[in-house]
Amino acid sequence: MRILVDRNIPLADEFFGELGEITRLPGREITAEAVRDQDILMVRSITRVDAALLEGSRVRFVGTCTIGTDHVDLDYLRERRIGFASAPGCNAESVVDYVLSSLLMLADEEDFLLANRSVGIVGVGNVGERLRRRLAELDVDCLLCDPPRAEAEAADDTQGDFVDLDTLIERADIICLHTPLTREGPHATHHLMSAQRIAALKPGTWLVNAGRGACLDNAALRQRLESRGDLRSVIDVWENEPAIDEALYGLVDIATPHIAGYSLDGKMRGTELVYQALMRHYGLPARRKLGQIKPDPWLRKIVLTGWAPPLEALALCVRACYDVRRDMVGFERYRRRFGMANAFDRYRDEYPVRREFSTLRVDLKKNAGDLRDAIEGYGFKVKLASKSSS
């Protein structure tokens, strides 16, 4: 079999090599001509997969090693009986790491504790739910907005914690968007954060978008920031990637090129999930296991030998593992050298290795044990020193 793989998919040889001949291409160079003689196509979110790409080709299976599927015409694949798999949840932990690293940076600048603020999570699926759980460990109040879930769970008495988006906007100090991009149906998310809703944000609100760019009206956010400058914003996903609105880029506090989910762990998990689905599709045993191939992180553990203010201890662990400033500064450096549209793709292509918080163990000695909840709450592994060793 012939397998065409986006070159930004790690471990493709290890997982797909046994099935046939692999060709690698940059995602934006995966054209109808390139796929014509291929049997299997493995993409990421920048390749539009539809009739224009696949009609007349031999492709019988498409995998996207991503959570989002808005770049794939699923109806077309169904009609043509082409097998399909995505990688639900693969990089959800990484997106949460990104959000927490960003919130910590802003909290650091404004000198306050997250525990004193309420966070509104819009879209409480794999990402939003993990964010909620980690924030709950830190005693942060969360408001949840997820109408599809609210409807589905309405009959369950133990649920019912959902609010509508306008109530969330009114009450939350920090708003995190984690919705998929959908353009149809009762809960379509295109411009869910509309001009009207952006105008309604309370002065001082922090707005985070790590879902999809077009869930938020980018022009309206630019106007609000230009005219009032009274929000703080973290934008990882943009309308019209990679040719994003540079004026908006210049106004947001943390601007990154769609890398929230870009840990090596998240990407490798994406490859493994799609590999498992591919093997099921062909009725073959999935013998390869990520655990056998995954490289060790280069930083395994940090030892805290005494008590420190929780915010400082957390900031230390976060910075050691993944500091969002690395990507802000790196992206800006690329923008100056290559221009925005080139910088956007190139930074992602050449993305420096990043590992999830969960790969870092924090050893707490002596009275540093008091920091356990905060550090575990942020997603790190914690080991408490035994009495004899402390």
Ligand X SMILES: O=C(O)C(=O)[C@H](O)COP(=O)(O)O
Ligand Y SMILES: NC(=O)C1=CN([C@@H]2O[C@H](COP(=O)(O)OP(=O)(O)OC[C@H]3O[C@@H](n4cnc5c(N)ncnc54)[C@H](O)[C@@H]3O)[C@@H](O)[C@H]2O)C=CC1
The whole-angstrom separation of Cα 250 and Cα 210 is 18
- Quick one: CA torsion of 126, 129, 131, 133, rounded to 10 degrees? -130
Give me the least distance between CB of 12 and ligand X, in Å please: 13
Buried b (16+ CB within 10 A) or exposed e, 334-357: bbeeeebeebbbbbbeebeebbbb
Residues 215 to 274 in contact with ligand X, rule: CB under 6 A: 258, 261
Q: Say which amino acid occupies 126.
A: N
Residue 191 a catalytic site member: no
Q: Does 190 bind ligand Y (CB under 6 A)?
A: no
The whole-angstrom separation of Cα 41 and Cα 3 is 6
Q: Does 212 bind ligand Y (CB under 6 A)?
A: yes
Q: Does 126 bind ligand Y (CB under 6 A)?
A: yes
275 is in an annotated binding site: no
Residues 285 to 324 in contact with ligand X, rule: CB under 6 A: none
Residue among 350, 279, 262 at smallest CA distance from 63: 279
Q: Which does 104 bind (CB under 5 to 8 A by kind): ligand Y, ligand X, none?
A: none
Token pair listed for 376: 């575990």
The whole-angstrom separation of Cα 164 and Cα 200 is 14
Q: Which of 132, 212, 224, 269 is catalytic?
A: 212
Residue 51: CB atoms within 10 A of its CB come to 14
One of 35, 40, 49, 67 touching ligand X (CB under 6 A): 67
Token pair listed for 218: 């980018």
66 is in an annotated binding site: yes
Q: Strand 141-145 and strand 118-122: pairing?
A: parallel
Pattern of binders to ligand Y over 16-55, x per CB under 6 A? ----------------------------------------
Tell me, by CB under 6 A, how many residues bind ligand Y.
Answer: 33
182 is in an annotated binding site: no
One of 8, 102, 205, 263 touching ligand X (CB under 6 A): 8
Only segment of 60-68, 138-146, 194-202, 304-312 that touches ligand X (CB under 6 A):
60-68
Q: Which of 241, 269, 354, 355 is catalytic?
A: 241
Q: What strands, in cross-sheet order, belong to the sheet with 2-6?
A: 21-25, 2-6, 40-43, 61-64, 83-85
Residue among 256, 237, 326, 269 at smallest CA distance from 91: 269
Token pair listed for 333: 């450096």
Give me the least distance between CB of 89 and ligand X, in Å please: 9
Give me the least distance between CB of 115 and ligand Y, in Å please: 24
378 is in an annotated binding site: no
Residue 187 a catalytic site member: no
Q: Does 91 bind ligand X (CB under 6 A)?
A: yes
Residue 241 a catalytic site member: yes
Residues 63 to 102 in contact with ligand Y, rule: CB under 6 A: 67-68, 89, 91-92, 95
Strand partners, 162: 144
E strands along 52-199, which residues?
61-64, 83-85, 118-122, 141-145, 174-177
45 is in an annotated binding site: yes
Q: Does 217 bind ligand Y (CB under 6 A)?
A: no
**CB-based contact 77:62 (threshold 8 Å):** yes
Q: Which does 46 bind (CB under 5 to 8 A by kind): ligand X, ligand Y, none?
A: ligand X
Q: Does 120 bind ligand Y (CB under 6 A)?
A: no
Residues annotated in a binding site: 45, 66, 146, 179, 236, 261-262
Footprint of ligand X on this chain (CB under 6 A)? 8, 44-46, 66-68, 91, 258, 261
* Active-site annotation, residues: 212, 241, 258
Residues that bind ligand Y (CB under 6 A): 67-68, 89, 91-92, 95, 122-128, 145-149, 178-181, 187, 189, 192, 210-212, 236-237, 258, 260-261
